[in-house]
A and B are shown apart, each in its own frame.
Chain A
Amino acid sequence: MKIETSSSVQEQNKVWSILETVADPEVPVLTITDLGIVRDVKINDDQVEVIITPTYTGCPAMDMIAMNIKLALIENGYNNIKITSVLSPAWTTDWMSEAGKQKLKEYGIAPPNPRQQVCNNDLFAAAEAVQCPHCNSHHTHRISEFGSTACKALYQCDDCKEPFDYFKCH
């Protein structure tokens, strides 16, 4: 019994390490595990079940992510693969890994601030202090609540004048 359990844990770890190589199609510098999209991995007999959750309700990348997970697992010798998408609990940027945030910044996208800073719904409220990923200044302003993908907003740095994407807290 014990041996079986530990081999199942080993198998799970192996699947997780494969999932760590699958990139997000829209922000390719991040993997799906950096983003916190993968919620669980289950081994049922010879079947591998990967449980994923969308970042945003309308995220058009989900079908492609599911396909890329399948391809990565097939390449590593798995044949019986099940992808399950769940909505609850709802995804939050708090699930993004620290490594992921660092990679975003290096890529030129400001990583999400901790969530408690955005829980304010006041109109025309001063935009939260978002750090410019280029010159590190906090002297920036929001151009638009909506950016190039559902998960980003548009900002501009008042010091270096560079416009940049901000991965919104969610």
Chain B
Amino acid sequence: MRSALIDYTLHLADTTLILSQRNSEWCGHGPILEQDIAITNISLDLLGQARNFYQYTATLMGGEATEDSLAYLRKEREFKNLLLVEQPNGDWGQTILRQYLYSQFQYLLFNKMKDADDEQLAAIATKALKETTYHVRWSSEWVIRLGDGTDESHNRMIKAVNELWSYTGEMFVPAVYETIVDIRELKNSWEEKVNAILSEATLTVPEKTFMQSGGKEGKHTEQLGYILTELQYMQRTYPGAQW
């Protein structure tokens, strides 16, 4: 029988990989050079985290599993990432908001995970927390700057909140394999922080919205198939290719 720990490390790996892939779509297209570099740096941090989680999963699985086979050769329904991270980049505002909503969650999650009994997860979280701290600060500043900016940027941020909000509920509903950190306990702190930042950005948190779910169990929005088509193209077309 497959252990819950394997499914959980895959969930962590998939979420960071897919968000990294999404952010990397900005490479060479950022609004200004410094911010293009910022979003791709964040992408690189997330890819590093994904590699650490995949490498650990591969060790747990044994056999022929490697970080590459897990990232490149699994199908859409096998991916367990959060629905939030697979949502399209939209405009810069939507990308920033997606990053902020996730980074704020990741910060709280890793802060708990660094004390986990599982030594490898604790080591990965401790290391990544330093980088996540930068991500939270950078993305919060941008949410405030754009929300409390011009009419145009403010309206775009309202649209981004409406687009993304229904994908945030899933973060706090544990999957059966999610036992290392009790994520339900993070919900209040997350809401408190997000409310504070959005209100400073003169944006309103939507009230009672229907929340989407399913990502953790492999049921995704139509977006993920397109992401994987691009991400896995090389290994699917030329199996085993190296450079």
Contact = CB atoms under 8 A, between A and B. Distances in A.
Contact of A90 (B34, B119, B126, B141): B126
B71 interface: no
A123 B140 contact: yes
Given A145-B137, A154-B34, A58 B127 contact: no
A59 interface: yes
A170 B133 CA distance: 11
Interface in A56-104: 56-60, 86-91
Nearest to A153: B134
B38 A58 contact: no
Contact of A150 (B41, B49, B128, B140): B41
Interface in B156-187: none
Contacts of A58: 44-49, 51, 131
Interface string A132-152: 000000000001111110100
B92 interface: no
B45 A144 contact: no
Nearest to A147: B37
Interface in A10-48: none
B48 A146 contact: no
A164 B32 CA distance: 18
Contacts of A144: 34-35, 37-38
Contacts of A60: 44
Interface in B27-62: 34-35, 37-38, 41-42, 44-49, 51-52
A71 to B, nearest CB: 20
Contacts of A154: 34
A123 B144 contact: yes
Contacts, number: 75
A88 B119 contact: yes
A88 B127 contact: yes
Interface string B78-104: 000000000000000000000000000
B144 to A, nearest CB: 7
Contact of B52 (A87, A91, A124): A87
Given A87-B52, A90-B126, A121-B136, A145 B131 contact: no
Contacts of A90: 123, 126-127, 130
Contacts of A143: 34
A57 B52 contact: yes
A147 B52 CA distance: 23
A86 B124 CA distance: 10
A89 B127 CA distance: 8
Nearest to A92: B130
A86 B52 CA distance: 11
Contact of A57 (B37, B122, B131, B141): B131
Given A146-B38, A146-B42, A57 B123 contact: no
A121 B197 CA distance: 14
Given A121-B136, A145-B134, A57 B41 contact: no
5 closest A-B pairs by CB: A58-B48, A57-B48, A88-B123, A144-B34, A146-B41
11 contacts: A54-B127, A56-B131, A57-B124, A58-B46, A58-B131, A60-B44, A88-B123, A145-B138, A146-B37, A146-B138, A150-B45
Given A144-B37, A146-B41, 5 more contacts: A58-B46, A87-B120, A88-B123, A88-B127, A150-B131
Interface of A: 54, 56-60, 86-91, 121, 123-124, 143-148, 150, 154, 170
